[in-house]
Chain A
Amino acid sequence: MIEQPRSFAAELAVIGSGMAGFAASVFAVNRKIATALTGNSGAMAYTTGYLDLLGRVDGSLAAVADPWQALEHLRQAQPGHPLSRITTADIRSAFDEITTFLAEGGIAYSRAGACNITALTPAGTLKQTLCVPATMAAGPKALAAKAACVIVDFEGLKGFSGREVVANLGARWPGLVTQRLAFPDMPRGEVYPEVMARALEVPATRRKLAAALKGVAGQAHVIGLPAILGMHRPDQVHADLQRLTGLEIFEIPTMPPSVPGVRLRELLEQALPRKGVTLIPQHKVTRLGFDGDGATLELHDSFGPIRLRVQTVILATGRFLSGGLEAHPDRIREHLLDLPVTQPAGRADWYRERYTDGRGHPIHRAGIEIDAESRPLGQDGRPCSERLFAAGVIVAHQDWIRSRSGAGIAIATAYGAVAAAERYLRESSGRLAARP
């Protein structure tokens, strides 16, 4: 039986539903571009909720306090770095646009400030980030003020230990202590952050937890919890718990897949379609072809084949985790179009000897090349199509892990790619209109 493919049309197809793909879709709908978003969004669940811009400069162990200044240095030292290709003003606008969109969807964020925020990790280490969800904001504040604070953890929640946080932070934060609670109404045994988060959407559970929190707060006015404060209305859960306890409360991200990551994914998957985005989630594009009039994407879902006809395409398929790049024993390949990938000479050169080498590994700098208009380059060094743009960490010459710049690269390059796609769409519609 030959199945008739279902067809969709749009001006822009975004391939990839990680941070870059979602950001590109947000920028596109804000610019009234008819957009379709495809691809597996699994990687979003691995994010912490922190939006990093630039937390470290490659090769340096020192944390970056002022990311805007560090960006200026990056422009000088690494002009080919994806963050060097976007102006500081655009990066700031891009972050503001994203945090505004998220706040409207129910997850309030701190706005991009002049400096990085020193935020907490579940290991009791600290990391530099630019924007944090409102549910996490009191943590960095309490740390800076060395306020008396209780880190609360839960019976049966593994991978998050208040004692671990205190053991590693206590020296610089003398007022930090920890207490353990049983989560209200959970059977004995292992408990899971997602289940706890959903349970806290119920007011009665919040009241019970609030009572327990008051019981262990002692003299402290600040309480830190693993990130479990609701899935769909975290701001409301957070505010309600603060009101019930009279305490300042903050979340610390947990090991992935974590609640803040799932929250972002679910918010975007709901908010974007409401704004008119055609969402074809969890399915990989199997073919992408360009012709004189546009581009065609082919996908399969459980109902059969899908054909997507568009004017422009943003490739935001990520790296190895999301499948944008594939590592083969002999070389690294770009999965969808077999675009040329800038990469180390051979497998022996992919990684340095030491895993945690602060300089990072050459394989991370591998990726596709783009031009000033964010267009991926083909074998001949020219854009492989006027209609194809790229965003996110698939782009070469960056190490988002070592430089703590994953969200920054995703958001900034998505901003650049959407701007370029918009220019193309406008010019081509201008050309169409000018046709006799």
Chain B
Amino acid sequence: MTSAMSTISSSHPASADASTLETEVLIIGGGVTGTGVMRDLALRGIHCVLIDKVDLCAGASGGNHGLLHSGARYVSTDLDAAIECRKESELLKHLAPQCIEATGGLFVGVDGDDPAFAERFPELCRRAAIGCEELTVAEARRLEPHLSDRLVKAYRVADASVDPFHLALANVDHARLINGSIYRSHTELVHFEVIDGEIRSAHCRDRRTHAKLVIRARQVVNAGGAWAMDIAHLAGCTDVDLVYAKGTLLVNHDRMTRHVVNRLRPPGDGDILVPGGTVSLLGTTSTRIEHLDHVGPTVDEIDLIIREGSAMIPALAGARYTRAFSRVRPLLQGAGHAGDRAASRGFALMDHRSQGLTNFCTITGGKLTTFRLMAEKAADLVAGRLGNRQAGTTASVALPIGDAGRWTEPGAAPRQWYALGNPADMILCECEMVPQSAVDQIVAVPPGEAPQQMSIEAISLRSRVGKGPCQGSFCGIRVSSYLYDRGYYRDAAGLAYMRDFFDERFKGQRLVVWGQQAAQMELAEALHCGLFGLDALQAD
């Protein structure tokens, strides 16, 4: 197909020290939307290069509940968004079942919640054609024994949980297989070269090697999520107007429910618990912030989420939490004055013609559940501008079940390990049962990526390594030791990867180190710093 489109030359006249990559479409931002645009365009025969300044799902795509909304969440605040969610979640359940667990969802009211809202809820769902079945309190508590005994109302809806990492990895992998489209991690946009209303090239920098890279593309898609406004500014566009809402989530060490459990009230803090694999995610909060730097949870947010969550599920008050993290939701400006919860969760596609550019567009806002639709709209615009008349097919072509996202699925690694029954294939991550063969496969086939050495963090993103109760403190050592052993790491860089991985995992642990986690953390630090000396690597 068009894989010949991408050529790398190291002696481009414009910048002698940079290599050059040519493609039809450059996509900036490796979240679910950016990867969705990549796959959609590839299905239309269009070659893409996708870059992310960190790695896949490093922003809001990787920092949410992993909730595939039935739409019921939005029936009281945004009917259009609710309908979109309903349609998209039904599509994805058919097209990407490997990324989705059809848990079903409950909306539960407890003593003290507004009874009028509870009464109105079925009618609100009906308007969006969202299925909603009333359960008796006894039925609901039979389904979910952890629910509060102060439960007064319960409805069942078609919520599900979805693995955004699996989605993103599978999107990238599919695009690579179709036409050799390329994904590059740790590639940061530095500036655009704009001539005569056209972006001619994007000047980038590899954040790990500091190597320069020039990407020449006919079209550029800004799928930067919360960073979309900054990226648009680099192109001289001032029409992307976002506000930032920080959301904080907690990871509970146990899977406490089978269903997604939502609080039966207008969207608020700490009102959704989503089971995902062996753990549960509880959140969120919503706080307006001005800057994207140093976004992290606070003690007050964490305590608030636990307090609110335990109104639905009292056991959450004394549960063990392994992580707390925050990500930024990009919200579209000017959507009303009723606060960010009521602000539109809809998305916007901007063609930037008013800004004097003809080959640049921005897709932002929206939410995980509607990523496919967002990607399709952006791809329609880009394909049209390239004169490609093929219609998008992501609403009918199933996402292939390949190797790319295989190891992100909880339980997949142990199942395969048992099935193969090879005693020499040792388990490296004992919490999540990730064997050597999984690591082999991950480092051998970086989906769509130009070959480069994978850090422990990159392996963790593509597997369950570090996701269990030990948060990587043991498996990080074993995985790096294994990679040294097979000659993949050959120098001190492996130890630096190990240190960086622990530093990164720690960001999410910092404020939830109480109870058993304090013991775990002390042991980990004694090992990592006291024995290995990872706190003093540069001195040795």
Tell which of B424, B511, B538, B540 has the most Cβ of chain A within 10 Å: B540
Contact A347 B514 (CB under 8 A): yes
Contact A125 B533 (CB under 8 A): yes
Contact B536 A156 (CB under 8 A): no
Residue of B nearest to A127 (CB): B533
Tell yes or no: B93 within 8 A of A by CB. Answer: no
Tell yes or no: A353 within 8 A of B by CB. Answer: yes
B474 — which chain A residues lie within 8 A by C-beta?
A: 255
Contact with A along B421-435 (1 / 0, CB 8 A): 001101110000000
Q: How many residues of B contact A (CB 8 A)?
A: 57
Tell yes or no: B482 within 8 A of A by CB. Answer: yes
B133 — which chain A residues lie within 8 A by C-beta?
A: none
Q: Tell me the chain A residues, 59-85 only, with Cβ under 8 Å from chain B.
A: 61-63
Tell yes or no: A290 within 8 A of B by CB. Answer: no
Tell yes or no: A356 within 8 A of B by CB. Answer: yes
Question: Roughly how many angstroms separate A127 CA and B517 CA in the complex, as a whole number?
Answer: 27
B491 — which chain A residues lie within 8 A by C-beta?
A: 167-168
Residue of B nearest to A178 (CB): B485
What's the nearest-Cβ distance from chain B to residue A92, in Å?
Answer: 23
What's the nearest-Cβ distance from chain A to residue B163, in Å?
Answer: 26
A159 — which chain B residues lie within 8 A by C-beta?
A: 477-478, 481
Tell yes or no: A256 within 8 A of B by CB. Answer: yes
B423 — which chain A residues lie within 8 A by C-beta?
A: 187-190
Question: Roughly how many angstroms separate A347 CA and B536 CA in the complex, as a whole number?
Answer: 26
Given the known interface contacts A156-B424, A156-B426, A401-B529, the answer about A356 and B503 at a Cβ–Cβ threshold of 8 Å is yes
Q: A164-B485, A325-B518, A363-B513 provided; 8 other pairs, C-beta below 8 A?
A: A46-B527, A63-B540, A122-B481, A156-B426, A168-B491, A190-B427, A355-B503, A400-B530
Contact A255 B477 (CB under 8 A): yes
13 interchain pairs, CB-CB under 8 A: A46-B526, A124-B495, A125-B537, A161-B481, A167-B492, A187-B423, A188-B423, A253-B531, A255-B478, A321-B519, A325-B518, A358-B535, A402-B535
B348 — which chain A residues lie within 8 A by C-beta?
A: none
Question: Roughly how many angstroms separate A60 CA and B503 CA in the complex, as a whole number?
Answer: 19
What's the nearest-Cβ distance from chain B to residue A27, in Å?
Answer: 24
Tell yes or no: B192 within 8 A of A by CB. Answer: no
Contact A357 B523 (CB under 8 A): no
Interface majority SS (helix, strand, loop, mixed), chain A: loop
Tell yes or no: B90 within 8 A of A by CB. Answer: no
Tell yes or no: B521 within 8 A of A by CB. Answer: yes
Given the known interface contacts A61-B538, A125-B540, the answer about A158 and B478 at a Cβ–Cβ threshold of 8 Å is yes
User: Using a CB–CB distance below 8 Å, which chain B residues touch chain A?
Assistant: 298-299, 303, 423-424, 426-428, 474, 477-478, 480-482, 484-485, 487, 489-492, 494-495, 498-499, 502-503, 505-507, 510-511, 513-515, 517-519, 521-523, 525-540
Contact B522 A321 (CB under 8 A): yes
Q: Tell me the chain A residues, 340-359 only, with Cβ under 8 Å from chain B.
A: 346-348, 350-351, 353-358
Q: Contacting B530 at CB < 8 Å: which of A156, A158, A357, A404? A: A404
What's the nearest-Cβ distance from chain B to residue A358, in Å?
Answer: 5
What's the nearest-Cβ distance from chain A to residue B523, in Å?
Answer: 5
Given the known interface contacts A161-B484, A163-B487, the answer about A320 and B533 at a Cβ–Cβ threshold of 8 Å is no
Residue of A nearest to B510 (CB): A351
Q: Which 5 A-B pairs have the closest CB atoms?
A: A189-B423, A355-B506, A164-B484, A61-B539, A327-B518
Contact B489 A126 (CB under 8 A): no
Contact A358 B522 (CB under 8 A): no
B506 — which chain A residues lie within 8 A by C-beta?
A: 351, 354-355
Question: Roughly how many angstroms separate A327 CA and B510 CA in the complex, as a whole number?
Answer: 13
Contact A167 B490 (CB under 8 A): yes
Contact A327 B532 (CB under 8 A): no
Contact A164 B536 (CB under 8 A): no
A256 — which chain B residues lie within 8 A by C-beta?
A: 523, 527
A41 — which chain B residues lie within 8 A by C-beta?
A: none
Tell which of A122, A256, A321 has the most Cβ of chain B within 10 Å: A321
Given the known interface contacts A164-B481, A189-B424, the answer about A356 and B529 at a Cβ–Cβ threshold of 8 Å is yes
Contact A163 B503 (CB under 8 A): no
Contact A401 B526 (CB under 8 A): yes
Q: How many residues of A contact B (CB 8 A)?
A: 57
Question: Roughly how many angstroms separate A319 CA and B523 CA in the complex, as a whole number?
Answer: 10
A321 — which chain B residues lie within 8 A by C-beta?
A: 519, 522-523, 526
Interface majority SS (helix, strand, loop, mixed), chain B: helix
Q: Tell me the chain A residues, 95-145 only, with Cβ under 8 Å from chain B.
A: 121-127
Q: Tell me the chain A residues, 283-337 only, with Cβ under 8 Å from chain B.
A: 319-321, 323, 325-329
Contact B534 A255 (CB under 8 A): no
Q: Contacting A126 at CB < 8 Å: which of B424, B484, B533? A: B533
B503 — which chain A residues lie within 8 A by C-beta?
A: 354-356
Given the known interface contacts A320-B522, A328-B514, the answer about A161 and B482 at a Cβ–Cβ threshold of 8 Å is yes
Question: Roughly how many angstroms separate A265 CA and B513 CA in the complex, as a whole number?
Answer: 28
Tell which of A125, A156, A404 has the most Cβ of chain B within 10 Å: A125
Contact with B along A355-370 (1 / 0, CB 8 A): 1111010010000000
Contact B484 A402 (CB under 8 A): no
Tell yes or no: A389 within 8 A of B by CB. Answer: no
Contact B484 A167 (CB under 8 A): yes
B534 — which chain A residues lie within 8 A by C-beta?
A: 356
Question: Roughly how many angstroms separate A327 CA and B532 CA in the complex, as a whole number?
Answer: 25
Tell yes or no: A56 within 8 A of B by CB. Answer: yes
B482 — which chain A residues lie within 8 A by C-beta?
A: 158, 161
Contact B298 A401 (CB under 8 A): no
Tell yes or no: A48 within 8 A of B by CB. Answer: yes
Contact B481 A327 (CB under 8 A): no
What's the nearest-Cβ distance from chain A to residue B533, in Å?
Answer: 5
Tell which of A187, A328, A350 has the most Cβ of chain B within 10 Å: A350
Contact B478 A163 (CB under 8 A): no
Contact A190 B426 (CB under 8 A): yes
B538 — which chain A residues lie within 8 A by C-beta?
A: 61
Contact B495 A320 (CB under 8 A): no
Question: Roughly how many angstroms separate A48 CA and B499 CA in the complex, as a whole number?
Answer: 20
Contact with B along A28-45 (1 / 0, CB 8 A): 000000000000000000
Q: Contacting B484 at CB < 8 Å: which of A163, A188, A323, A354? A: A163
Residue of B nearest to A354 (CB): B503
Contact A121 B531 (CB under 8 A): yes
Question: Roughly how many angstroms separate A89 CA and B125 CA in the complex, as a whole number?
Answer: 79
Residue of B nearest to A357 (CB): B535
B518 — which chain A residues lie within 8 A by C-beta?
A: 320, 325-327
Contact B540 A126 (CB under 8 A): yes
A404 — which chain B residues lie within 8 A by C-beta?
A: 530
Q: Contacting A160 at CB < 8 Å: which of B481, B507, B510? A: B481
Tell yes or no: A406 within 8 A of B by CB. Answer: yes
Question: Roughly how many angstroms separate A189 CA and B484 CA in the complex, as a whole number?
Answer: 19
Question: Roughly how many angstroms separate A375 CA and B495 CA in the complex, as a whole number?
Answer: 42
A255 — which chain B residues lie within 8 A by C-beta?
A: 474, 477-478, 527
Question: Roughly how many angstroms separate A126 CA and B518 CA in the complex, as a whole number?
Answer: 27
Given the known interface contacts A125-B533, A164-B494, A320-B522, the answer about A356 and B528 at a Cβ–Cβ threshold of 8 Å is yes
What's the nearest-Cβ distance from chain A to residue B22, in Å?
Answer: 37
What's the nearest-Cβ distance from chain B to residue A242, in Å?
Answer: 26
Question: Roughly how many angstroms separate A159 CA and B492 CA in the complex, as a whole number?
Answer: 17
Contact A61 B536 (CB under 8 A): yes
Contact A406 B526 (CB under 8 A): yes
Residue of B nearest to A352 (CB): B510
B481 — which chain A residues lie within 8 A by C-beta?
A: 122-123, 158-161, 164
A161 — which chain B residues lie within 8 A by C-beta?
A: 481-482, 484-485
Contact with B along A171-191 (1 / 0, CB 8 A): 000000000000000011110
